[in-house]
Amino acid sequence: MKALSIRQPWAELILRGEKTLELRTWQVHYRGPLLIHAAAARRPQRVRQLGLDPEALAYGALVGVAELVEIFPLNAEAYEALREAHRSDRPYPGPPLFAWRLARPRRFAQPIPWAGRQGLFTVPEEALPALEGLPQPIPAPPPDDEHPFVLYTFPENGQGYRAVLYQWLKTPTHANGSLPRWWQVDLDSTPLRLLGDALAQTLRQAGYRPGDLVRRFGEPFFLPEPLGVRLALLFLATKPLSRVDRVDAIAAGIARMSDEEAYYWFSKCSPGPEAERGRRALRTLLAG
């Protein structure tokens, strides 16, 4: 299986779903499952800057697997617009620069010590017992003009489920195609438990039964744009929260919004250079 070595804390952020684009100066034709290798080099100061404990991270080991779904070039404008996805705080380094989109990361129960290599390298599958029992990949959603949002759910280690929401972009953001055709936001089982009522209501309004979330793992739930916008807002605003009262306040506030208000906040909170500022403002407005 193909593998890519990535320094910490970036490997950890990929597994958490907080970094969805890996930057490289080269590209490959390969698409499919990609092992995430945490490089042996340590940068404890950078790890602490991101609020993580450097001693709690794995180094020099295979730590999980994700799906490499597309690779596209980045110009300076796209680099700035997608900072929240690639998480680099450095200035645009100039071409050639490619964004490798990684979807649906899955963490191994235990890291597998392994020597990394430069470039894309191969790890024999017989060396990967940790792959047994991992959920199968979810394919990228097909485009649908009437339902530009699509939701998937899949089991998570036998304890609840994860959800990933995709939005297809109707037209390329730039004429040279330097931005991707879709973006995604995902939540694991912990925050999803706090959003049960709101998620169930969204499914009902889209013509599905709430119980389908756990009966139809890996199958798409297509959402019309107004419902998709509100669900994306809910995911984006509550993803870092753990307090039930704040999550409830945000869910109630988004439910009360007019369509015009929801679209306004979605434009501020969806991926872009000011997205995190918009999300903080929305949390403050709705939950203090």
CA 284 to chain centre: 23
Q: What is the pLDDT of residue 170?
A: 60
At residue 230, the 3 state secondary structure works out as helix
Q: 125-160: per-residue pLDDT in tens?
A: 777 765 655 555 555 556 666 778 888 887 765 567
Counts for the chain of helices (H) and strands (E), in that order: 11, 10
What are the residue boundaries of the structural domains of the chain, listed by start?
Answer: 1-122, 139-288
Pick from 82, 251, 66, 240: nearest CA to 169 = 82
- Output b/e per residue, 266-279; b: 16+ Cβ within 10 A: bebbbbbeebeebb
- Output b/e per residue, 18-54; b: 16+ Cβ within 10 A: bbbbbbeeeeeeeeebbbbbbbeeeeeeebeeeebee
**pLDDT classification of 22: cutoffs 50, 70, 90:** very high
Q: 110-132: per-residue pLDDT in tens?
A: 888 899 888 999 988 777 765 65
Q: What is the pLDDT of residue 143?
A: 60
Q: What kind of architecture, by CATH, is found in domain 1-122?
A: Roll (2.30)
pLDDT > 70 in the chain, percent: 87
One-letter amino acid of 49: Q
Per-residue pLDDT for 166 more than 90?
Answer: no
160 close to 189: Cβ distance less than 8 angstroms? yes
Q: Which of 36-40, 101-105, 176-180 has the highest mean pLDDT?
A: 36-40
Give first-to-last CA distance, the chain, whole Å: 47
Q: 207-236: per-residue pLDDT in tens?
A: 999 888 888 877 889 899 999 999 999 998
- The answer to whether the Cα torsion of 187, 191, 196, 202 is positive or negative is negative
This prediction has a pTM of: 0.62
